[in-house]
Amino acid sequence: MKTQATKRGLISLPEEILFDVFSRLLIKDLFRFRSVCKDWKKVITDSYFVDMHNARKNPDQYGSNFLIKCCTSTSDETLIYFVDYENHDTTSSKAFNINFKLPYSTKIKLVGSSNGLLCLCSLPDHEAYYICNPLTREVWHLPRPYDLDKDCEKKMSHYSAPLGFAFDKTTNTYKVVFTWCFYDKIYDHSKLKSGVGIYTLGSGKWRRVEDVPARRFFNPQETSQVLVNGALHWILLCEPKSELYNSIGAIDIQSESFRAFKMPREYYGAHRTLGVLQESLCVIDDICAGFVDAAVVFWVMKDYGNKDSWRKEYIVKKDMLGPLQRARSFKFFNTRKPKTVLLYGDKDDQGYYDLENKEFKHTLNNGIQPSSNKVEAVVVHLGSLISPKRIDFPSAQMISKTPARTRPKRKLSSAQTSKTPGHTRPKQKLKKSLRS
């Protein structure tokens, strides 16, 4: 009887107290508590509560971050998995298929993750963009980007590729960025014209920024997002004679201005990629892949924007990486544990590497279907309750949401739909108390 009375007392707490208590819990716990009773679900799905929880969440707290893995099955269908990867004491982690319902394409690209939302786009044309919450399964279809065919000159071709998805803390806005390029068949650099397209969620339109150098590599599957110091970065496409050769380009998310700076001069003809190490821009060289003396070199930019501040911070011998030593390219992710990174190879091998103690632990993902034999992209995602519907309500059409039972039942007011994460509306007096 005591237990039942305690449960009734907890459920019947004033809503103000529930708001405060729930806003301090992990996202995983909140999803369990939604099913306890209708009143708890009402609190957890309230837009004011979502803003409060988002403002209080700590990205470094255990249980806040997840891996999102984008895989291609043998039937050429894209499958997206959700993985809790922050338990360093285990050698395996469970992967869950998210099962987004996207109407126009069975093959998609993972563009990036930022502040609780995920951006996807269709392949191979990159014409359909989606903003999703992988925890709530809510999916929004953004307006189609402007048509590059209209501006492409005769005997010229063009391509576009997603560059990244970012949240601007200064203005509380989300932005999708892609690169575009006009070129001739022989790739004459004198005729090459390139720039970026930017979509601010809630604006309803794409904007075009001219004269921004294109990416060096165009890979439809590759996830290119490198967000650091409030800017998206990429390796530039330039001929050797250009002053921007061997350079990194960056678009500032707030000002939408472009800048470039040189990469480390010491170069081994290795596979070179970008990353972020302990909040600093990093260049990763995969040297002599396949050989005994193969290594992964981490260059860190100590003073952001200063080309003379590159330091060869770590050299990781590939024979220390177990199954990953055969990988031809690497991605790595920061973890809550200081100077420990999660290394991810191109063959879906992964493991934790302690940069200080030079120790490696191989880990496995359980739950990924055997038919998902190719992992195209991996990103770290900070879980949230944020609804894409609230962010892009003026311009986007909600196309799908699974499961259906999580769809909000009440109509959002214009004041609510104009708000973005980080904003909170004044707390209103509750008209209805919780039922005991």
Band of the pLDDT at 343, cuts 50, 70, 90? confident
Residue 401 has pLDDT above 90, yes or no: no
For the ranges 52-66, 77-91, 296-310, 362-376, the maximum mean pLDDT occurs at: 296-310
Spell out the long-range contacts of 271-274 with Cβ–Cβ below 8 A and sequence spacing 24 or more.
Answer: 271/328, 271/329, 272/235, 273/235, 273/329, 273/330, 273/331, 274/226, 274/233, 274/234, 274/235, 274/248
Predicted local confidence at residue 174, as pLDDT = 94
| Residue that wins the pLDDT comparison between 344 and 397 | 344
Query: What architecture (CATH level 2) is domain 65-382?
Result: 6 Propeller (2.120)
Q: Helix, strand, or coil here: 141?
A: strand
Beta bridge partner(s), residue 162: 178
pLDDT tens profile 196-224: 889 999 888 898 887 777 665 444 445 55
Structure tokens at 103: 């109407």
Predicted local confidence at residue 265, as pLDDT = 84
pLDDT tens profile 371-398: 555 677 788 888 888 888 878 765 544 4
User: Considering the chain, what percentage of its residues have pLDDT values greater than 90?
Assistant: 13
Cβ neighbours around 150 below 10 Å, total: 6
Q: What CA–CA distance (Å, rounded) separates 267 from 265?
A: 6
Q: What CA–CA distance (Å, rounded) separates 292 from 279?
A: 32
Q: What is the pTM of this model?
A: 0.76
| Residue that wins the pLDDT comparison between 32 and 216 | 32
pLDDT tens profile 106-120: 678 888 899 889 998
Q: Helix, strand, or coil here: 56?
A: helix
Nearest to 134 by CA among 86, 83, 87: 83
Q: What CA–CA distance (Å, rounded) separates 88 from 211?
A: 45
Concatenating the DSSP letter of every residue in 190-230 gives GG-EEEEEEEETTT-SEEEEES-PPBS---SS-----EETT
Q: What CA–CA distance (Å, rounded) separates 366 from 94?
A: 5
Predicted local confidence at residue 281, as pLDDT = 94
Alpha carbon separation from 209 to 114, 195, 212, 256, 257 (Å, rounded): 22, 6, 7, 8, 9
pLDDT tens profile 34-81: 777 777 777 787 777 787 777 776 665 544 567 777 777 666 677 788
Residue 136 dihedral angles phi and psi, to the nearest 5°: -90, -10
145 alpha carbon, distance to own chain's centre: 20
| Residue that wins the pLDDT comparison between 10 and 426 | 10
| Residue that wins the pLDDT comparison between 264 and 330 | 264
CB within 8 Å of 357: residues ≥ 6 apart: none
Nearest to 277 by CA among 331, 216, 326: 331
Q: What CA–CA distance (Å, rounded) separates 419 from 55?
A: 14
Spell out the long-range contacts of 402-411 with Cβ–Cβ below 8 A and sequence spacing 24 or more.
Answer: 402/99, 402/100, 402/101, 402/137, 403/137, 406/45, 406/136, 406/137, 406/138, 408/45
Residue 313 has pLDDT above 90, yes or no: yes
pLDDT tens profile 90-106: 666 777 777 777 665 56
Predicted local confidence at residue 411, as pLDDT = 42
Predicted local confidence at residue 83, as pLDDT = 79
Angle (CA) 156 125 151, round 5°:
35
Strand pairing of 374-382 and 65-72? antiparallel
Predicted local confidence at residue 407, as pLDDT = 36
Average pLDDT score over the chain:
74
Mean pLDDT for the stretch of residues 21-36: 76
User: Which of these ranges, 144-148, 168-172, 352-356, 392-396, has the smallest mean pLDDT?
Assistant: 392-396
Predicted local confidence at residue 434, as pLDDT = 33
Cβ neighbours around 41 below 10 Å, total: 15
Beta strands in 15-128 (DSSP E): 65-72, 78-83, 92-97, 108-114, 117-122
First to last CA, the chain: 16
Mean pLDDT for the stretch of residues 112-131: 85
| H/E element, 6 | helix 2-11
Residue type, 347: K
Residue type, 376: E
Determine the length of the chain: 436
Band of the pLDDT at 370, cuts 50, 70, 90? low
Cβ neighbours around 39 below 10 Å, total: 18
Predicted local confidence at residue 3, as pLDDT = 47
| H/E element, 4 | helix 2-11
Mean pLDDT for the stretch of residues 308-321: 91
What are the sequence ranges of the domains in the chain?
A: 65-382
Band of the pLDDT at 295, cuts 50, 70, 90? confident
Predicted local confidence at residue 304, as pLDDT = 95
